[in-house]
Amino acid sequence: MSDRQILQAMSGLMAGMFVSILAGTVVANALPRIIADLGASQSSYTWVVTAELLAMTATVPLWGKLADLYNQKLLLQISLGLFVVGSLLAGFSQDVGLLIFSRVAQGIGAGGLTALAQVVMAAIIPPRRLGKYAGLFGAVFAVGTVAGPLIGGVLVDTSWLGWRWCFFIGVPFALLAIVLLQRTLKLPSTRREAKIDYLGAFLIVAGVCALLIWVSLAGNSFDWASWQTAALTGGGVVLLATAVLVESRVPEPIIPLGIFRNRTVTLTTVASLFVGLAMFGGTVFLSQYFQISLGKSPTVAGLMSLPMIMGLLVSSTVAGQFISKTGRWKAFLVAGGVLMTAGLGLLSTIGADTHFGLLSLYMAVMGVGVGMLMQNLVLAAQNDVPASELGAATSVLSFFRSLGGTIGTSVLGAILANRVAAEMSKGLQEAGVPAGGGSAGHGAVPDMTTLPAPIRAIVEHAYGVATGELFLVATPFALLALVAVLFVKEKPLKTTSGMERLAEESAAAAQNTRTDPPRTSAGTSSAEPAETT
């Protein structure tokens, strides 16, 4: 494919990715208003957030496996269709039950987009040329991440629109993506007999959901040391162990365990898990830090993350161009690991009085590191697996990155809540305020506009100290990602696309079938006389 044809085909992919990112970011500032309007509880608030994340993370491996068996363009359009249905149901929801159900549908669609976009890129673009296109997806990621909270805030504050448009706004982009994919993306339709491993799929989804529900709710809805923890963790481990047993025996496993014999896949998977833990787990609380500790509005808080997003965008674009020109990629992975670790370490020093210029520098360092790591981990894995396993390898990396982000967000969120409570209690005690004063209890996020100045200073200090500690906890995980990357062996980037490699592999398999003599029922070649008794 020429560069023009590739860009045309990528237009639908980028529209789909923008929809997926927007779904997760546009409701961030609207959720308090949504929950209040629907008369729901704090636990419902948690489930509205968790439902989409659970569905997306758990279904990514399934979409990846389906991509190896069926037409990838059709699967992309189905995932976009699911997203449209979920968005419309969410927008018209009159109770929180329907809203949570609709978020599950959105999550399943987003899981398809997350897995399939990178699979299709690998199918149409050779690894050697893939780097320079990664910057375009970095731009889409940056725009969706920054614009989402801003758009959500404007929609909620506009009386004649309201929070329902936070869900409706993604529908036209999803429909546009479906049309663009139909018109521009040309993929061969592969037809082969395949058996879907329904038991393995159920066990994987059930086991992952049990563990994700545990890390999402532990410390909030129940204690970390409780019977609920024992039931969810024990059940999740048993389900996943059974899934491994099933996957090792079926002819068409959802996650082919054989791909983990590939050193590159194993190491990049481990690195992706730790990148998710470190990056998502640490940065998800930055917006809260901006609003509570620094006293900024939601709109300004969204803009303050620009240094990190710009660092990510520039580094992914520049690194991609160099990789496409030179064919060398490991140096960028190592540099990304070093910079991400350094950025998190620097962010661990922040507090309520940190100057924004210094904060911007720290965020930019981390953003540059993440930009060099995320897409290039996928590139390294895709370059080192057979074309028939591109979907499985890509989805495994996406799955573990999302899993790491979910675990990191939940665990670090619990650490943040405990640290804030301790710092606020200490500050209130030193100020002579009775225990429970100043909205310090019950893990509630305080409304800063209603607090008197002395109490507000205590709260700002508490959130500043606690957020810095979060980055300190996240830093070792980034260091572990760097260690995993150091052991990845650099291999030359292939110059043929996934479709071309698949055609070559299929032709080679057919040639082997023709040259191998047929076997008799006794297992001997028909060209040789069967052994007589």
Share of the chain above pLDDT 70, in %: 85
User: In this predicted model, which residue has the larger pLDDT, 143 or 108?
Assistant: 108
Query: Residue 531's pLDDT band (boundaries 50, 70, 90)?
Result: very low
Is 528 a residue whose pLDDT tops 60?
Answer: no
Q: What pTM was estimated for this model as a whole?
A: 0.77
Q: How far apart are CA 367 and CA 305, in angstroms?
A: 10
Contacts of 500 (CB under 8 A, 6+ apart): 126
Query: Residue 298's pLDDT band (boundaries 50, 70, 90)?
Result: low
Contacts of 204 (CB under 8 A, 6+ apart): 58, 61, 62, 240, 243, 254, 255
pLDDT at 134: 67
Q: How far apart are CA 250 and CA 256, in angstroms?
A: 10
Listed range (3-12, 174-183, 229-238, 263-272) with the worst mean pLDDT = 3-12
User: In this predicted model, which residue has the larger pLDDT, 399 or 487?
Assistant: 487
Query: Residue 338's pLDDT band (boundaries 50, 70, 90)?
Result: very high
Q: Tokens for 507?
A: 């032709």
Burial string for 249-269 (b: 16+ CB within 10 Å, else e) reads eeeebbbbeebeebebbbbbb
- Using a 10 angstrom Cβ sphere, with 0-12 exposed, 13-18 middle and 19 or more buried, the burial of residue 351 is middle
pLDDT at 135: 64
Is 533 a residue whose pLDDT tops 50?
Answer: no
pLDDT at 441: 43
Long-range pairs for 2-11: beta carbons < 8 A, 24 or more residues apart: 6/124, 6/125, 6/133, 8/184, 9/120, 9/124, 9/184, 9/185, 9/186, 10/121, 10/133, 10/136, 11/180, 11/184
Average pLDDT rounded to a whole number, residues 251-262: 81
Which of 107, 103, 93, 112 has the alpha carbon at shortest distance from 39?
Answer: 93
Is 530 a residue whose pLDDT tops 60?
Answer: no
User: In this predicted model, which residue has the larger pLDDT, 126 or 473?
Assistant: 473
408, 277 Cβ separation under 8 angstroms: yes
Listed range (71-80, 97-106, 265-274, 499-508) with the worst mean pLDDT = 499-508
User: In this predicted model, which residue has the larger pLDDT, 305 or 446?
Assistant: 305
**pLDDT tens sequence across 61-95:** 888 778 777 788 888 889 999 989 999 998 898 88
**Please, what is the average pLDDT of the chain?**
79
Query: Residue 439's pLDDT band (boundaries 50, 70, 90)?
Result: very low
